[in-house]
Each structure stands twice: as C-alpha cells, then as structure tokens.
Amino acid sequence: DKYYASGFPQMQNSNVLHVTCDKSDRIWVLTAGGNVALLDEKRQMRRLGLYTNRNFLKTRWILNSLNNGIILFTEKGFYRYTDKEMPEKGDSITITSFEFLPIIGFDTLLTKQYRQVFYYDEDRYLLVNEKEIYKINFRNNQVEQRFQIPNCTALAKWGKQSLLFYDRVSKEVEVYDFSTGITRFP
C-alpha cells in the first residue's frame, strides 16, 4: 500500500522522514513539519494532535526503546506513549496518551540542533550535532556520555563500543571507540 497525505490527511504531509513499528504492530510515521501519524493494529490511520498550552508540539524523531516503548523526541523534550489500546472513536491521539519523560542531564541540551538521531542499541540512542554526540540511555533515563566528534555523520555501530562515521571536513570514513575515545580508520 502507498500512503500519501492526499488520501490520508491524518499524515499532514507526504514527506515521510521516519517510520518505526512498535511491539503492538502499530506503525508510527514522522512527516515533515514535526507531524506524527499512527497506523494502528486495525490499519486505521490516526493523527497525533500534540498540543501544550494550545501550541503545536513538533516532533523531532520517534524513538523505539525496549524499556520505555515509543518515545517522541519533541522540541520540548521526550514524551513516552502510555496507552495500551487505541480509543475506539476518533482519528486523533492527544498529548493525554503520553507522559513527559525527564532525562537526567538533558535539560541544557534540549535547545541544541541535532543533525541525526541514531539508534545505538535497544535502549540507547545517539543524538548528533555539529560538535558533539550525546549517548542517551532510556533504561535509566539519563545522558550516559558526551563525545567530542565534530563534523560527524553517524553511519553504523561498529562492534560493541564503536561507531563508524563520516567526517564531513576530511571526507573520510573513521571509527570512534566510545570506551577509549580514540578515532581510527576502519
């Protein structure tokens, strides 16, 4: 099946940025403009109407954590999806289906611009900006580590403790070892 905003207005936009599937077989879709839609178990498309103080809450990325399930990384922080079953009526899911998820050590990092949100393992994600990478642990809800890796584009997890990345300045592919802080060529 093909899904476009013209046929499914709940998507708000046909420019799909990210898709993930949760444990209940629901498909979460992030589209341009920070909009989120959900294809539920019955394959009904639902819009997420996330508003705080009457202001639309843009989603930056959809995280899928083993410990916390679906987490929306928004411009105001992290929100964990809490409802187990979809409401029978209506096509919109509101902020009442989510709870704010405080992340220890993240309050000063919220306003930074992130180039990438990169899956690291079942409960960890890397948030990549121009100068640093932050490893967020959603098992204990805290910033686990910070790494100074400027001009990085994350490519793949490399072994147990390393990241394969592209250096946009040197135009080379390198490996960063999180345990030692050493950068080397693969």
Q: Which one-letter DSSP state was computed for residue 79?
A: E
Q: Which one-letter DSSP state was computed for residue 173?
A: E
* Residue pLDDT, tens place only, 27-67: 999 999 999 999 888 888 888 888 888 899 999 999 999 99
* Residue pLDDT, tens place only, 59-68: 999 999 999 9
CA distances to 45, 121, 163 from 183, in Å: 45, 21, 9
Whether 116 contacts 128, CB under 8 Å: yes
Q: Which of 123, 155, 153, 126 is nearest to 140 (CA)?
A: 123
Cα separation of 174 and 178, whole Å?
13
Lowest mean pLDDT among 4-18, 38-52, 78-92: 78-92
The pLDDT assigned to 146 comes to 94
pTM to 2 decimal places: 0.89
Whether 162 contacts 135, CB under 8 Å: no
Q: Which one-letter DSSP state was computed for residue 9?
A: G
The pLDDT assigned to 28 comes to 94
* Residue pLDDT, tens place only, 93-152: 888 889 999 999 998 888 899 999 999 999 999 999 999 999 999 999 999 999 999 999
